[in-house]
Structure 1
Amino acid sequence: MAITLGTLPRLTTFSMRAVSAANDLRPSFGGPVQRLGRKGSRFALDVKVPAMSAKGCGIALIADLLRGETETVILPVPDYVPAVPYGTPLVNGAGQLGTTLVIDGLTPNVAILKGKFLSVILGGQRYVHIVAAQTTANGSGQASLPIWPMLRTPTTDNAVVELAAPKIEGFVQPGQEWSISRLQAVGVDFSVEERA
């Protein structure tokens, strides 16, 4: 069962990073290097939480993070693209793979900007993607979004697409540390990486 982290303090900082599965093919006798895109690239989110009350949410957060080494953790993706009324986006068609995601249920003619994060829920698991080029929905609320990374599992028709409030789901990286000051304040840094 996934653990949804509560609201983090206002001064929390987030750093999103790509974890690439691409590799280089180097010819043994010289020649150009080829970059091979491979399924499995994903995102990780590094979080730095400033000192907060240990009695308040500090110790509870640490307990959730420790459980997050074996259970997935869900938290919002920091998104810098202004929110607009996207409608109720859903995957439009089963079995999609590759670097294009066809969706429907959008507000007609809404623009989805390049750099907008989204998450897709497939088989009870969230997968984060970034829109690779600005796309505008047609008059019926359908759009074909170029995305990175490529889809890691075949889609199911009408799967939920979290466009207005995307979330990352993954494991907390092991070996987390936290500090407790004499003032009973707790500060913690942690990373969440998508599991696939």
Structure 2
Amino acid sequence: MAIVFPQIPFGSNTEITLNTSAADLKPFLAGPVQRLARLGDKWSLKIECRKMFAKQAGPVIAALIAGLAELVIIDLPQPGIDTSKWTTGNIAAPATGGRQIVVSGGGAPKVVGQMISIERLGVHYLHQITAVNGANLTIQPALKTPLAAGEPVEFARPKLMGFVAGNAAGWTVGLAENTGLSFVIDEAV
């Protein structure tokens, strides 16, 4: 069972990265470069927490240690986007692959750049909206699993499911007994 990561303190620095599995084929002498787009793109979330008291840092540290061996689920921040106008929607039509989904519900109209997560069989798949045409959304990366109508799509609080990167978790304690944390969570699905 995955561990639900505690809320990250306000004022933390977050870096979201999409790691592509595409490969460029560059000819030795001349000719065009070809890009082989393959399935398997994965997100990484790098977080540098602001200094906090040990009482605040304790739950985050516990989740980091557990995340070295178990999956974690963390809410993805969406800076600059008012998420209060969205809720959980649903997949409206089955999708077997590609970058197109049809959704129903979920609150206000969706916006390009917004992050979403689709939950299927307890697994959260993170995507970003790259185009909106009513209920038809174009997303990046491509779907990693077939979707049935009715599966939940989280618009307000998208989730990344993965492992804490590396094989160690550490933190610093300053002179004022403030704790500093920085870590990376890599998508596992």
The answer to whether the 8 A contact 2:87-2:154 is kept is no
Partner residue, 1:146 = 138
Q: CA deviation at 1:65?
A: 0.2
Q: Which one is further off, 26-35 or 61-70? A: 26-35
* SS of residue matched to 1:120: strand
Figure out how many residues of one structure are paired with residues of the other and give that number: 187
Distance change >3 Å, CA 169–CA 28, structure 1 → 2 = same
What are the within-5 Å matches in structure 2 for residues 10-159 of structure 1? 10-27=10-27, 30-54=30-54, 56-79=55-78, 80-83=80-83, 85-86=85-86, 88-107=88-107, 110-136=108-134, 143-159=135-151
The answer to whether the 8 A contact 2:95-2:101 is kept is no
1:142-174 Cα offsets, whole Å, 9 max, x none, are x11100000011113211100122121111101
Structure 2 length-normalised TM: 0.89
The answer to whether the 8 A contact 1:113-1:135 is kept is no
* SS of residue matched to 2:113: coil
* SS of residue matched to 2:83: coil
Structure 1 length-normalised TM: 0.86
Partner residue, 1:167 = 159
Structure 2 gap ranges (5+): none
* SS of residue matched to 1:59: helix
Structure 1 gap ranges (5+): 137-142
Partner residue, 1:6 = 6
Residue identity matched to 1:126? H
Q: CA deviation at 1:126?
A: 0.7
Partner residue, 1:195 = 188
* SS of residue matched to 1:58: helix
Structure 1 runs, 4 residues or longer, greater than 6 Å off: none
Q: CA deviation at 1:93?
A: 3.1
* SS of residue matched to 1:93: coil
The percent of aligned pairs where both chains have the same amino acid is 30
* SS of residue matched to 1:62: helix
Q: CA deviation at 1:123?
A: 2.0
Q: CA deviation at 1:181?
A: 2.1
Q: CA deviation at 1:39?
A: 0.7
